[in-house]
Amino acid sequence: MSALNILHVDKTFGNTQVLKDISLAIESGEFLILVGPSGCGKSTLMNAIAGLEPVTSGDIQIGGEDVTWRTPAERDIAMVFQSYALYPSMNVRQNIAFGLEMRKMPKAQREEAVARVADLLQITPLLDRKPSQLSGGQRQRVAMGRALAREPQIYLFDEPLSNLDAKLRVEMRTEIKKLHQRLGTTIVYVTHDQIEAMTLADRIAVMRDGEILQLGTPDEVYNDPVDMFVAGFMGSPSMNFIPVTLVSRDDGYVLRVLDEQDPTGAPLELPWPPAREAQALHEWVGERLILGVRPEHFVEDETRMETSFDGTRLDVMATVVEPTGADILLQATLSGTEVTMRLGPKSQVAAGERVALRVDMSRAVLFETTNQRRVA
Amino acid sequence: MDNVIRRRTPGARMLRAGLYALLMVMALVYLLPLVVMLLTSLKPLEEIRAGGLLSLPDSLTFAAWLKAWGSACTGTRCEGLSGYFMNSVSIVVPAVAISTLMGALNGYALTKWRFRGANLCFALLLFGCFIPFQVVLMPMAQTLGWLGLASSTSGLVLVHVVYGIAFTTLFFRNYYVSIPDEMIAAAKLDGAGFFRIFWRILLPISGPIITVSVIWQFTQIWNDFLFGVAFAGFGSQPVTVALNNLVNTSTGVKEYNVDMAGALIAALPTLVVYVVAGKYFVRGLTAGSVKG
Ligand SMILES: Nc1ncnc2c1ncn2[C@@H]1O[C@H](COP(=O)(O)OP(=O)(O)OP(=O)(O)O)[C@@H](O)[C@H]1O
Ligand SMILES: [Mg+2]
């Protein structure tokens, strides 16, 4: 049985429709992550689940019961906010116990619960402090403690880590993952952080303009995107989009890369892997399409022996070289299109030099130019 | 020590000296009436008649204060201001408490439980801040009559509460607007309702604005004369009305020292409140959002 079931939910503010026919089912114990550009309705959806905003139409079920018109208090949900939203006048202990007190839990049990989550989150020494006496990371823990103490059916996290510095964010991310594995809680989590989304989620829902474009495992969303938006949104640096024309040859399909600047030169041609000749591909012969290749699907030619794939050879001019430490990001022009590539840290490429590369076409994707849907 | 780098030429120094002299004169002009009142109230009547408004008293006496407090005539009764002072207290305390509490509730509802028409509601309430007292005298008198509260302390309390709510609502609304909605959302999810959130979450962090509201309302209501003279009965007249009667009582000689002492007695509470809590008043007016 699904822990949370959202059925055809619409939400309008005045004349703007912020949520458009959203349907979702989340299994008990599942970790669902909502991603999408700013203003796409993620927080609105969270507020609708929590009961902080009424939906315009549609139903919300929690644990099989219809809760569409129940107050937040009646829904058995806890939420962790980006701003933490701790009660400034109460100390940490009271902050954590407040929800239990409101639910009429006896004092002894309340103290037990506070001690339990304080231990779990290692905030026992902070219990008698006021929120104003805590650091950002500590406040974040207290906010989580407040949610955990109640043991609700569903946890909602709205960008809980975005106010923390990079190092603390990674630590808390790991901790949230551990907590989820240990407690088996059902979580809906909003984030802007690609890595947070990929590492934490059981499933990711990619939203845009109040719609869910794709709902799938991190692997599906990353490697098998439904359209150009999802493909471009997931992954950092994002996927390269290269305009091509599909050409049919005796030995299979070929993608001819169009060079707007130099239409007379010999066009670059990339063979489409025979193993991936989709049934529908022949309809697109002679048409313009968009080829999607992720930065890590390029490999420097010298290093080819070390990697398993047998790519197609390319020769490009490096324009910008950005070492990130773990690897090197290379900007280059590929037949007139700016392309980003991720090379190994040992690469000796310098800006202005020509580089020999191989591209792994077996993981490339193709999109329609008009509505940006996936072709193959 | 001031914290400004300024030019140190002789001309600039002269200018500063002139500026300070001017400021001192202005301060003196402002303070003089108070000084005269205080000096006069501490002199015996003969000394006042002998002239010398600004001369220090030869023989210091608190007789005028005692008389103003205990036995001066206000109209036909000669019991001093003490009873009226107490009348004022029994008007001011409930009126301040009720109007502050209602302002807080209004501000809370207008910002954290936004309903359809909340903005219109607030705009209409704000009108109350701009309606002159005189305009409402007749309708208010009629209303008090209907309610059976004419000439009573409760009637005056009601008038002041009604008039004060516009201001207190404005104060609290502007304060609560800066408190993050997420805090209220968290409390709702924790299972707290409308009043629980108000008492447990919002009121404990409203100290600065409560101070502002209390000082403001206290000063307004304590100093009110018009409503007092229009709506109070004999037994419920506030000290401002009594002071007027005391000064205007025409039997016998004019006792300036008693008049001045009476005026000071009537003004003392607001002075004390301002001196004691003034800095909180300023702090509260400028207080921004409450950091979590
Ligand atoms: N109370 C409101 N009244 C009118 N419009 C609103 C209201 N709340 C949100 N919106 C609009 O709804 C849209 C979605 O907002 P929402 O806060 O859900 O975005 P989001 O996906 O959470 O964005 P972010 O990533 O920046 O947090 C926005 O265009 C916003 O302007
Ligand atoms: Mg948001």
Same domain assignment for residues A157 and A225: yes
Of B191, B204, B290, which is closest to A99 when you measure between CB atoms? Answer: B191
pTM: 0.85
Contact B186 A81 (CB under 8 A): yes
Domains of chain B (ranges; CATH) run 2-61 (no CATH), 82-287 (1.10.3720.10)
Q: How far apart are CA A29 and CA A80, in angstroms?
A: 17
| Cis preceding linkage at A323, omega within 30 | no
Backbone angles phi, psi at A207, to 5 degrees: -110, 150
Q: Per the structure, how many domains does chain A have?
A: 2
Q: Is residue A127 in a domain?
A: yes
Residue A188's H or E segment, with its range, is: strand A186-190
Residue A307's pLDDT band (cuts 50, 70, 90): low
The atom number, within ligand 1, closest to the CA of A14 reads 4
User: Last residue of some domain: A181, A215, A233?
Assistant: A233
- Which tokens sit at A11? 């939400």
Q: Is residue A376 in a domain?
A: no
Whole-complex ipTM:
0.85
Same domain assignment for residues A78 and A187: yes
Q: How far apart are CA B39 and CA B56, in angstroms?
A: 7
User: Is residue B195 less than 8 Å (CB to CB) from chain A?
Assistant: no
Tens digits of per-residue pLDDT, A7-17? Answer: 999 999 989 99
| CATH code of the domain in which A252 resides | 2.40.50.140
Q: Is residue A213 in a domain?
A: yes
Q: How far apart are CA B139 and CA B130, in angstroms?
A: 17
- Cβ–ligand 1 distance for A42 under 6 Å, the answer yes
**What is the amino acid identity at position A203?**
R
**Coil vs helix vs strand at A4:** strand
Ligand 1 test: best mutation among A17, A35, A44, most atoms within 8 Å of CB?
A: A44
CA distance B106 to chain A (A): 20
| Nearest residue of B to residue A158, measured between CA atoms | B182
CA distance A314 to chain B (A): 53
Q: How far apart are CA B256 and CA B234, in angstroms?
A: 25
Of B191, B201, B291, which is closest to A87 when you measure between CB atoms? Answer: B201
Best CA proximity match to B237, nearest among B250, B227, B251, B247: B227
- Cβ–ligand 1 distance for A39 under 6 Å, the answer yes
- Which tokens sit at B191? 């299972």
Same domain assignment for residues A74 and A208: yes
First to last CA, chain B: 34
User: Is residue B209 less than 8 Å (CB to CB) from chain A?
Assistant: no
Identify the domain containing residue A315 by its residue range.
240-368
- Cβ–ligand 1 distance for A41 under 6 Å, the answer yes
Cα–Cα distances (Å) from A146 to A54, B178, B205, in that order, read 24, 23, 20
> Cα dihedral sign for B35, B36, B40, B43?
positive
Contact A72 B189 (CB under 8 A): yes
Q: Is residue A374 in a domain?
A: no
- Laid out side by side, the sheet with A65-66 consists of A16-27, A2-13, A57-62, A65-66
What pairs with residue B245 in β-bridges?
none
The atom number, within ligand 1, closest to the CA of A46 reads 18
Tens digits of per-residue pLDDT, A109-161? Answer: 999 999 999 998 889 999 999 999 999 889 999 999 999 998 899 999 999 98
| CATH code of the domain in which A117 resides | 3.40.50.300
Same domain assignment for residues A132 and A23: yes
CB A362 within 8 A of CB A275: yes
User: Last residue of some domain: A215, A233, A251?
Assistant: A233
- Give the single-character DSSP code of A151: -
Best CA proximity match to A142, nearest among A189, A77, A104, A88: A88
> Which ligand places an atom closest to the C-alpha of A11?
1
> Cα dihedral sign for B220, B226, B227, B233?
positive
Whole-number pLDDT of residue B290? 45
The atom number, within ligand 1, closest to the CA of A16 reads 5
CA distance B196 to chain A (A): 9
Tens digits of per-residue pLDDT, B176-218? Answer: 999 999 999 999 999 999 999 999 999 999 988 999 999 999 9
